[in-house]
Amino acid sequence: MKLRDVEARVAVLQREIAELKEAVDSHREMDRALGVLVAVAQVPPGRAWEMLRDISVHTHIELRRVAFLLTQWGYTRILPPQVEAELERQLRARRERQARGGSAGGDRRVG
């Protein structure tokens, strides 16, 4: 293998490592946000991912950014107005479904 080939392969591997590190960081942020929704907003784990995704879709904010904002909200109680409004809308809809006796989406009891 020529030096040029080795250098090219090293460059490819370095890019792959950087991408993997970013993916791990992103996954970590998503997990934190899901934990905040479960603990602070009292959303069942099965519904937390859907809410995170829906907030991103409805506010047109990248999923990873929404996850970061929700993680911060867990201890600051501060959200950008559009994220706060969407979170409140989803929580209100969930409460209304529960009040009607329907499934609140992911609210399944084990046992």
Stretches where the chain sits below pLDDT 50 are: 106-111
Burial class (CB in 10 A: 0-12, 13-18, 19+), 75: exposed
* pLDDT reported for residue 105: 52
Q: What number of helices (H) and strands (E) belong to the chain?
A: 4, 0
Q: What are phi and psi of 44, to 5 degrees?
A: -60, 145
Tokens of residue 107, six digits:
């609210």
* pLDDT reported for residue 108: 41
- pTM for the model stands at 0.73
* pLDDT reported for residue 110: 32
d(CA 58, CA 30): 17
- The alpha helices in 40-80, defined as continuous H runs, are 45-59, 63-76
